[in-house]
Amino acid sequence: MPCIVWTKELETGIPLIDKDHKVLVSILNQVYDAIGNFEERAVLGSALNSLLEYTRYHFAREERLQDVAGYPGLIAHQQRHHELAKQVQDICQRYEADNSTVQGAEVLEFLRSWLVQHIQKHDMGYLAQCLGNEAAYQAAEQILFSPQGTIPQPEKKGLVWSALSVLIVEDNRNFQLIIQTILKSLGVRTISVVSSGAEGLEVLSTRSFDLVLCDWRMDGMDGLEFVERARGAGIASKVIMMSGYSTDDVRQQALQIGVDGFLEKPITARGFLEMAGRVMA
């Protein structure tokens, strides 16, 4: 059950802004799903990281839009964005320092009003100036989600996210959603998801993928066995293993059986970008 349902009242009519707001709503709902499930602290951490990263990215795009359109309220809006991002950052930092201090009820209360109020009270204020301004839309579209932050970045030569096909092998439903959100934010269009190593092997026997993201700990066949069997079957896709607690021994073992890189949970879009960029180079 989602905590925020997307409604017409949240729509600004500016396609790129509505797209960003929908992504933010979906990340908020993922945070909501992860709260209260104490076995899934890494899920909550990953969702909070995604929220912070996507928030910064969206704010930068929105500010560029307002700037190019000549919106007189830009400075005040920037200040509000700054405060909102700071609030999410504080939660992330508290989570990092001691995740037991991040209480579900408090975070929920905050997040429930955070985005919805900002969209309805403040974002609607710049519409008169920005709606239909194609030059402003284009300028905002040029800000890409990148490891360097929100500076315009041309897509790295040889790695075109939109052309990448990715298979996610993960048995945790919340993690599946978070990873998909991160991949979609980057522009990846071909994403398949399976919940077990056995299903992963089945899919790989019929289709090829550029990149496989697999969880280390899974019921039944674990990530190691999955990769070993995939490599044994001649699967050449690049493989990134996601793990909450890997030691050097474990990493060494995984590299020997054909894992190309590691991603520590809680994951971040930035961490994924850097690792995928390295593995796919």
b/e per residue 55-92 (b: at least 16 CB within 10 A)? bbbbbbbbbbbbebbebeebeebeeebeebeeebeebb
Q: Assign 22 to helix, strand or coil.
A: helix
Our CB check for Fe ion shows the closer of 62 and 170 to be: 62
CB of 122 to Fe ion, least distance (A): 6
Q: From residue 28, how far is each of 21, 44, 94 by CA, in Å?
A: 10, 10, 18
Our CB check for Fe ion shows the closer of 49 and 55 to be: 55
Our CB check for Fe ion shows the closer of 140 and 235 to be: 140
63 contributes a contact to Fe ion by CB under 5 A: no
Contact map string, positions 140 to 179, toward Fe ion, x by CB under 5 A: ----------------------------------------
Q: Assign 213 to helix, strand or coil.
A: strand
Which listed range, 56-64, 86-94, 128-136, 250-258, lies at the site for Fe ion (CB under 5 A)? 56-64
> Rounded CA gap, 103 and 100, in Å?
7
Our CB check for Fe ion shows the closer of 129 and 190 to be: 129
CB of 61 to Fe ion, least distance (A): 9
Which residue minimizes CB distance to Fe ion? 123
Cβ(63)–Cβ(77) below 8 Å: yes
Q: Position of tokens 């359109």?
A: 69
Within residues 66-125, the interface with Fe ion by CB under 5 A covers: 123
Rounded-to-10 torsion of CA 95, 101, 105, 106: -80
CB of 58 to Fe ion, least distance (A): 6
Q: Footprint of Fe ion on this chain (CB under 5 A)? A: 62, 123
